[in-house]
Homo-oligomer: A and B are copies of this chain.
Amino acid sequence: MAEELKSLHELLEDDPEIIDNIKVLIEEEAAQSLLTIFADIHSADIAEIINHLDKDKARFAFNILDTETASEVITELDENIREKILEEVNAEKIADIIDELDTDDATDIVSELPDKVAEQVLGYIEPESSEDVKELLKYREDSAGGIMTSDFVHVFEDATIADAIEQVRNKADIIDHIYYIYVTKQNEELIGFILLKSLLLHPLDTKVSTILEEDLISVNPDDDQELVANLMKKYDLVSIPVVDDNGIMLGRITIDDIVDVIGEEAEEDIQKFAGLSEEEEISDSSFKISRIRLPWLFVALFGELISAVVLSSFQASIEKILIASFFIPVVMAMGGSSGTQAAIVMVRRLTEHDIWFSNSYKKIIKEFIVGLFNGLVCGVILIIATHFLFDAEIKFSIALAISLLLIMIFATVVGSTIPLILKKFGADPAVATGPFVTTMNDIFGLSIYLSIITFAFL
């Protein structure tokens, strides 16, 4: 009977100090006591604890684990912590750990190793896995081929239920979750699948071809993992087969890997909204975080220096109508907010419904109306506010409100159009939501505003 594991959340409820205790034990290098605690914790939680340790302590905690636990923990570690830990583990031990893994996870780890170590490790692991891993290494990391495993249960079309059960028994040890038994021709061309439960519902001599499900949704190894995620999500799949151009089955991708992808893709978009050049990990140093954030700060800095040039070119107007300078923040923030709202909504639409692309001019007209309406509402509020708060002359208030209206329409339309244009040219539409478009909107917005003020007063 397996021992009872608890999630870290439950453990913390029982003993709020458990994490501090673990840290003390690691500090003291009390391996035996640590292993006693780790025995009750799920491997994903051991990985989470290691992710929050400094390099040396992380190495110590990882090295005391037995091979099986280490193999469960290693796949859940942050990439840069894993890299630092494996730097000091010899190739033979890495190979032992990798021998316990599914081929997709094994490939991930091998691909991160320095070339020389990777070669050694491939020499040590079981020959069959080694072949599979070398095959999988050919695919891009974020493609269907890069995340598929070559372990799956399959039978030929003339097999019976009894044959299928035999196959399940053969593979039960190396495949944790068996959802489908795939059915192929003799040349391994995929023709359908049967559900695992079906094996319990029919007599043993039933031909699988008679209970075969053919409504197969499959992907090509070169397809992007985002497409795989969208298909599995849309069609509620727990496993999707990967087939080559001739329909030959190469592997399968299971939902647990895709759950991580769904997270990743959303994180990537969020990262672009934030203007981060790559994802920050908890273990990153301050210096690395700076390096991740600086590129887009530079874009904003240079862009706003152009805004400053624009403003300086309207020096005469600002000098004459000093009050105009007070509303620079209003004009910038309202253009920026409307543009970002429109851009983010459009980017998410394009991610989820890319085939409705042809409908997009309708969407832009809708955005124009939204910009017009919101601009009118905000413009009226602005006229009232400037009158009472700043005692501004009505001519200025009206010029300001008209500027705001035009800028909000402009920013809304630009915000929704740029993602479409980027998509059309095969670029990532999410780039439009970062500092680049906001900065561009600032430059144009301020130009519109000061041109109108200049026209009205000079």
Q: Which of B165, B196, B238, B366 meets A289, CB within 8 Å?
A: B366
A68 to chain B, nearest CB (A): 14
A355: which B residues are within 8 A, CB to CB? 8-9, 12, 19
A251 adjacent to chain B (CB < 8 Å) = no
Q: Is the CB of B442 within 8 A of A305?
A: no
A333 adjacent to chain B (CB < 8 Å) = yes
A287: which B residues are within 8 A, CB to CB? 373
Q: Is the CB of B330 within 8 A of A325?
A: no
Asked, given contacts A307-B330, A378-B297, A442-B329, whether A2 binds B341 with beta carbons under 8 Å apart, the answer is no
Binary contact track A259-299/B, C-beta < 8 Å → 1, others 0? 11011001101100111100010100011011001101110
A312: which B residues are within 8 A, CB to CB? 323, 326, 390
Q: Is the CB of A238 within 8 A of B238?
A: yes
Binary contact track A203-227/B, C-beta < 8 Å → 1, others 0? 0000001101111110000000000
Q: Which residues in window 40-93 of A have CB below 8 A to B?
A: 42, 44-45, 48, 52
Q: Is the CB of B330 within 8 A of A329?
A: no
A304 adjacent to chain B (CB < 8 Å) = yes
A63 to chain B, nearest CB (A): 23
Q: Is the CB of B389 within 8 A of A309?
A: yes
- With the chains together, A435 CA to B312 CA distance in Å? 28
A138 adjacent to chain B (CB < 8 Å) = no
A28: which B residues are within 8 A, CB to CB? none
Q: Which of B303, B341, B349, B442 meets A274, CB within 8 Å?
A: B341
Interface centre among A12, A280, A337, A358, by most chain B C-beta atoms within 10 angstroms, is: A337
Binary contact track A234-263/B, C-beta < 8 Å → 1, others 0? 111010000000000000000110111011
Q: Which of B297, B337, B356, B369 meets A297, CB within 8 Å?
A: B337
Closest to A45 in B: B234
Closest to A5 in B: B215
- With the chains together, A330 CA to B235 CA distance in Å? 47
Asked, given contacts A262-B259, A344-B273, A390-B312, whether A333 binds B442 with beta carbons under 8 Å apart, the answer is yes
- With the chains together, A378 CA to B358 CA distance in Å? 42
Q: Which of B1, B267, B301, B330 meets A330, CB within 8 Å?
A: B301
Asked, given contacts A282-B353, A377-B294, whether A322 binds B315 with beta carbons under 8 Å apart, the answer is yes
Q: Which residues in window 327-382 of A have CB below 8 A to B?
A: 327-330, 332-334, 337-338, 340-341, 344-345, 348-349, 353, 355-356, 358-359, 366, 369-370, 373-374, 377-378, 381-382
A210: which B residues are within 8 A, CB to CB? 1
Q: Is the CB of A308 within 8 A of B337?
A: no
Q: Is the CB of B345 within 8 A of A280?
A: yes
A200 adjacent to chain B (CB < 8 Å) = yes
Q: Which of B1, B260, B274, B311 meets A326, CB within 8 Å?
A: B311
A388 to chain B, nearest CB (A): 11
A160 adjacent to chain B (CB < 8 Å) = no
Q: Which of B196, B233, B269 meets A196, CB within 8 Å?
A: B196
A304: which B residues are within 8 A, CB to CB? 329-330, 332-334
A438: which B residues are within 8 A, CB to CB? 333
- With the chains together, A77 CA to B169 CA distance in Å? 40
Closest to A266 in B: B266
Asked, given contacts A232-B259, A293-B370, A333-B439, whether A322 binds B323 with beta carbons under 8 Å apart, the answer is no
A168 adjacent to chain B (CB < 8 Å) = yes
Asked, given contacts A270-B273, A270-B348, whether A389 binds B296 with beta carbons under 8 Å apart, the answer is no
A334: which B residues are within 8 A, CB to CB? 297, 300-301, 304
- With the chains together, A303 CA to B378 CA distance in Å? 13
Q: Is the CB of B270 within 8 A of A374?
A: no
- With the chains together, A451 CA to B11 CA distance in Å? 51
Using A3-B215, A238-B238, A312-B326 as known contacts, list a sample of 4 further A-B pairs with CB atoms less than 8 Å apart, ordered by residue number in A.
A2-B214, A48-B234, A276-B344, A297-B374
Report 23 cross-chain contacts, Cβ distance below 8 Å, ordered by A residue. A1-B212, A2-B212, A42-B217, A44-B234, A52-B356, A52-B359, A169-B200, A172-B200, A178-B196, A199-B200, A233-B263, A236-B256, A258-B259, A263-B266, A270-B270, A270-B344, A289-B366, A290-B373, A293-B370, A293-B374, A304-B330, A308-B389, A309-B326
